[in-house]
Amino acid sequence: MRHRVSGRNLSRSSSHRSSLRRNMAASLFQYGAIRTTAPKAKELRRFVEKLITHAKKNTLHARRMVISALGRDRAMFGVDEERMDKTIVQKLFDEIAPSYAERPGGYTRIIRLAERRIGDAGEQVILQLVEEGKAAPTAAAAGTSRRRRRATKRHAAATDAAAQTAQATTAKADEAQAEEAPADEADAGEKTQE
């Protein structure tokens, strides 16, 4: 019987499972998204969301809990294998957790990919952090269909074009008035000389 047994086995021993989970979580925090299989992503999601919830508290105890859960605080390296200033835990506490301050949960999303893994045809997914701190979409684009967004863009472009045309016609009218004004002044000057 499976009473009170939670989580997926993933065909690994418990130490291998915890190492896998820690490494994948660190990679997710470093890069913001990782590509993996669906069962691993679903298992990792539970682990990562708990870590982000701890990090939102931003206390010394929370930091120690996160370091304990991650096993160690590993350094981050750039593309050219140059060591970066921040570690994984520093990035989690300084950048990731504050961006989810108002969000009560659901910090990650799983996007299923059409292609399968070549070796065993495993279902591939992308597990990524939801971008909470980024600029919010405009009211016209938020929660609307693609068709509505495109129509809104076309309408805005048409309005801009009409405004530019109106400005051009007023500019031409102003130029015409400016050309007529010196001619009138010249006529007035001739009348005064006579």
pLDDT, tens digit, for every residue of 28-84?
999 999 999 999 999 999 999 999 999 999 999 999 999 999 998 888 888 788 888
pLDDT tens for residues 3-25?
A: 999 999 999 999 999 999 999 99
Provide the residue ranges of all domains of the chain, joining segments of one domain with +: 14-129, 136-194
CA separation for the pair 123, 112 (Å, rounded): 8
Continuous segment of H or E residues that includes residue 167: helix 146-193
Give the pLDDT score at 152: 85
**Cα–Cα distance for residue pair 81/9, rounded to 1 Å:** 34
**20 burial type by CB count under 10 A (0-12 exposed, 13-18 middle, 19+ buried):** middle
Q: Where are the alpha helices (DSSP H) in 35-96?
A: 38-57, 60-70, 88-91
Name every residue whose Cβ is closer than 8 Å to that of residue 52 and which is 6 or more positions away in sequence: 92, 96, 97, 100, 107
- 3-state class (DSSP) for residue 127: strand
Instruction: Name the DSSP letter for residue 96.
Output: I
Q: Assess contact for 36 and 43: CB atoms under 8 A.
A: no
CATH assignment, 14-129: 3.90.1030.10
φ/ψ region of 77 (left if φ > 0, alpha if ψ in -120 to 50, else beta) reads beta
